[in-house]
Amino acid sequence: MKKFTYLLPLLGCLCAALPLTAHDFPLCLYGVNDPKDLKLIKKSGFSCVQAYNQDPQHLEQLAREAAKRGLQVVFYPNKVLGSEYEAKAQSWPVLAWYLVDEPDVARWSRSQVQAAHARAKQAFPRHRTALVIGQGKTKIPYYDLPDVMMMDWYPVPHLALTSFGDNVRYVKEGMAKSNRQDYPMWGVVQSFDWKNYKQYRPDNDRIGRFPTIREIRFMSYDGILNGTTGLFYYTFNHQGKPLPYAAPAYWARVKTVVKELSRFKHVLEQGTAVSNPVSVRKPLRMQSWSYKGHTYSILLNASQEPQEVPAELLTRSYRLLYGSKKTSQIPEYEVWILKH
């Protein structure tokens, strides 16, 4: 990254741009490389894809097909910059340029991230940059460097499921301290089996499993209640093959959650935050929006035990749009979407 230090004087201009507060709530899928898969991905409710392939010619093909399907893309800019495809990329449907994966893990300094951001913004001033960190709190505060902060935290099965939402909240707190509270923040939800990856302790037994549909759904909505303004799902790859073909049952879990979110996200994008119609106590959490004359609420049980539904809610007239059946108890790690 030392060769990019000449760009650092530009940072005062680039970082002082107006906050990007678009109301879109992206639903994105990691690890997509074959343009032929985009039709299925679009049909499954996703609005964008991320690719690890950095070959500019391949990215051009992927971007063209994505535009045709009404999808946006998240690409590394590294090999596009300075190539014959840099000019073409101005018209790609770029949601954001992916600066670096987990600089806190890769031990990138602030100046390295600044240089990567500056180089991308110099080439693509109308496009956003995104930076994903591996946890909500980092020794180096990266929160004010990119246009979009991202966070990936994969707790299943070895950590508390609620730790995903906790880490989203930590990122939001870091952004607020950096005066970036109005900038987008996207959370990356686990949709893979840890056993398929190298273990930190090779002498230990390999642990892992694919998250259940309830876990994927809970993490998604817990992220929303903690402030994420978009969700990514990691990953489309399963043991070297696309997830729908390698493990159709696992793909069905992810697709079910994303399809639901794609039908509800207009409330997140266009609704106005309002006070909850009823009061709830921990471990229940609720957040509400007004949209087209109705109040919509997310009611979440952040406990591994069923919880009593507030008596006040049981006496109200509401429609349960998504979640388990209307009962006097909300199951463990369940999420109800209510229309009042």
Q: What structural domains and CATH numbers belong to the chain?
A: 23-270 (3.20.20.80), 273-339 (2.60.40.1180)
Average the pLDDT over each of 19-33, 216-230, 271-285 and give the range with the smallest value.
Answer: 19-33
The runs of H, that is alpha helices, within 96-162 are 103-106, 110-123
The pTM assigned to this predicted structure is: 0.93
Q: Which residue has the higher pLDDT, 208 or 206?
A: 208
Structure tokens at 19: 């906050």
Which pLDDT band, with edges at 50, 70 and 90, does 12 fall under?
A: very low
Average pLDDT of the chain, as a whole number: 92
**Which strands make up the sheet holding 272-274, listed edge to edge?**
272-274, 284-291, 294-301, 335-339, 319-322
- Given a cut of 90, whether residue 332 has pLDDT beyond it is yes
Cβ–Cβ < 8 Å for 286, 316: no
Q: What is the DSSP secondary-structure string of 42-75?
A: HHTT--EEE-----HHHHHHHHHHHHHHT-EEEE
pLDDT at 325: 86
Which pLDDT band, with edges at 50, 70 and 90, does 207 fall under?
A: confident
Find the mean pLDDT for residues 163-178: 98
What are 72-112's pLDDT values in tens digits? 999 999 999 999 999 999 999 999 999 999 999 999 999 99
pLDDT at 326: 87
- Given a cut of 90, whether residue 291 has pLDDT beyond it is yes
